[in-house]
Amino acid sequence: MEMTATLKTREKEISVRGNRPLYRILEDLQFSQQAYLAVREGILLTGDDQVQDGDVIELISVVSGG
């Protein structure tokens, strides 16, 4: 079975190819780095942090307002 990393937002879970920096994954998904914080095991990640296959990353939306 192919290993992937999992990105979780409030609305959905996305399987992505890991073993590359977070910012690359967000770029591929066309997610703005400005619009989310990424958390792995309770720790905030910066864009250059490596995401490994098997990682579960929570994406917290930062955008609010009506």
Q: Where along the sequence are the contacts to another protein (CB under 8 A)?
A: 10, 32-35, 37, 39, 43-49, 60-66
Q: Supply the minimum distance, in Å, between the C-beta of residue 64 and another protein.
A: 6
H or E element that contains 19 = none
Residue 41 backbone phi and psi in degrees, to 5: 50, 45
Find the shortest distance in angstroms from Cβ 47 to another protein. 6
Would you say 19 or 27 has its CB closer to another protein? Answer: 27
**Cα–Cα dist 51/66, whole Å:** 33
Supply the minimum distance, in Å, between the C-beta of residue 6 and another protein: 19
Count other C-beta atoms under 10 Å from residue 58's C-beta.
Answer: 17
